[in-house]
Amino acid sequence: PLFCRRYVAGGQCKSAARLEGKVAIITGANTGIGKETARDLARRGKVIVACRDTAKGEAAASEIRAETGNQQVIVKKLDLADTKSIREFAEKFLAEEKELHILINNAGVMLCPHSKTADGFEMHLGVNHLGHFLLTFLLLECLKQSAPARIVNVSSLAHHGGRIRFHDLHGEKSYNRGLAYCHSKLANVLFTRELARRLQGKSQRGAEFTANALHPGSVHSELVRHSFVMTCLWKIFSFFLKTPQEGAQTSVYCAVAEELDSVTGQYFSDCQPAYVSPRGRDDETAKKLWSVSCELLGIQWD
């Protein structure tokens, strides 16, 4: 059982990199993988806990402050299902902070019944992809000027089951909540790929500016709360699932590991490079998704 448990736990981030004077934003950091990522980074530097439920965020931040002794764990309201909230978050952050060195796009929804965001986007696509796409766009100049800087997008092995259905992005013609999640996770991989391509040579003072994606593993967390069946299965097979702390390892690795200073546009799992599906390597689809995302959000990102 001990060997099996170690195998399930997967890779560990062994970097002791410090982040003194640096600022990290982690979306959805009030619970699960995001909270554990925040706990680790709080031992290294300043962390912004960006989440929809600020009461849960404050409870998580208070716990992390007490454990790490770092008082620079700050909660900010961010609802990725509402572009107005995303813009307000970015505006307040930029007014209060001069630099941003790490952006971890971690928050996500999974297996939601068909529903729409405040702006009319299908929920999985709207939160998991479009919300983070807009947030990254709004914070990009700050990241560039703070380089070396890193953008980390939490995707999933589920991207292998996804496809970008441009003819029905919002699931109005047909909808399957499992596939909708897979589609959004593929969008994360394609976004990372195209973002990394566009960022090359764009950093300030020759400092590295990178974007990478990752699969955290199958983690025992609240992500499956919308599915009674999955919640039951997660409880039954919890021994074979990663803990949130184990699931956070690759996020932390992508955010701080020294050996990734100049690595960009890659996909990781268990703190090492992982296989990307053929659809996740389709540059034409990545470019089209970028263009369509800008159109949906009403932004120009060249």
| Residues with catalytic function | 181
DSSP string, 57-96: HHHHHHHHHHHH----EEEEE--TT-HHHHHHHHHHHHHH
Lookup: tokens for 217: 């593993």
Residues 6+ apart with CB under 8 A from 45: 18, 19, 20, 21, 22, 23, 24, 72
Q: State how far the Cα of 247 lies from the Cα of 210, in Å rounded to an integer.
A: 22
Residues 6+ apart with CB under 8 A from 232: none
Q: State how far the Cα of 76 lies from the Cα of 226, in Å rounded to an integer.
A: 25
Please give the backbone phi and psi of residue 179, each rounded to the nearest 5 degrees, phi first. Answer: -70, -35
Written as one letter, the residue type at 13 is C
Burial class (CB in 10 A: 0-12, 13-18, 19+), 42: buried
Where do we find the tokens 């990241």?
143
Q: 252: helix, coil or strand? A: helix
Q: State how far the Cα of 5 lies from the Cα of 115, in Å rounded to an integer.
A: 37
Lookup: tokens for 103: 């952006």
